[in-house]
Amino acid sequence: MALARPTVEEIKASAARYPSKQSAIIPALWAAQHEQGYVTKEAMGEIAQILDLPPSLIEATASFYSMFLTKPEGRHDVVICVNAPCFLRGADEIVAYVEHQLGVRDGQTTKDGAITWHSTIECLGACGGAPMMQVDHRYEENLTPERIDAIFQRLRTSPSPHDAKPEKAAVVPSPTQKVARPRTKRTQA
């Protein structure tokens, strides 16, 4: 499936912001994943063409980072942090609870296709709210069994975030184009 025009425009706009097109690989992969739910081989090839980079560089980047999905998964993606701060605040119990509640192991998808979950030793950067998980790229912190049940209930009945139509790409001014700056309010002394 070819990338939608707004996604292509978003990738081109991202590339224009950087001195090297290679710097736009990660934003381009995000754009493709947000549109299609995962990054297909076809999308990687299209990104390579748009950025005028070798396809192997795009594929290497997509396979290196665990945040990029290269195969279809559930409608919702759940990643549970088990790094040291989350572990110290009960992440191992959270993982066991999630596995029991969903009836599938780490890396698997529920039978209804609603949720694919993973645990990761990579810190997700929300140590102050540990234990935590990332749900469709949004943080859920200070997890308890009750909070997890409510989150999973919501996910089972809500559509995939990838089902939404892609938004129109933002227009990014060229480096030579002047941008109007908002004026500050003057206060009387």
Q: Mind listing the pLDDT tens digit of every residue in the chain (189 residues)?
A: 799 999 999 999 999 999 999 999 999 999 999 898 889 999 999 999 999 999 999 999 999 987 788 888 889 989 999 999 999 999 999 999 999 999 999 989 999 999 999 998 788 899 999 999 999 889 999 999 999 999 999 999 988 876 654 444 444 444 444 443 333 344 444
Same domain, 38 and 100: no
Residue 20 included in any domain? yes
Confidence at residue 44, expressed as pLDDT on a 0 to 100 scale: 97
How high is the pLDDT of residue 134? Answer: 93
- Considering the domain boundaries, does residue 23 fall inside one? yes
Residue 31 is assigned to a structural domain of this protein: yes
Kindly state whether residues 54 and 111 are assigned to the same domain: no
CATH number at residue 124: 3.40.30.10
CATH number, domain containing residue 50: 1.10.10
In a shared domain, residues 55 and 85: no
Q: What is the pLDDT of residue 163?
A: 63
SS3 sequence, the chain?
A: CCCCHHHHHHHHHHHHCCCCHHHHHHHHHHHHHHHHCCCCHHHHHHHHHHHCCCHHHHHHHHHHCCCCCCCCCCCEEEEEECCHHHHHCCHHHHHHHHHHHHCCCCCCECCCCCEEEEEECCCCCCHHHCCCEEECCEEECCCCHHHHHHHHHHHHHCCCHHHCCCCCCCCCCCCCCCCCCCCCCCCCC
Domain final residue, candidates 30, 64, 98: 64
- State the residue range of the domain holding 89: 76-162
Residue 168 resides in a domain: no
Q: Within this chain, do residues 158 and 88 fall inside the same structural domain, yes or no?
A: yes
Q: What is the tally of structural domains in the chain? A: 2
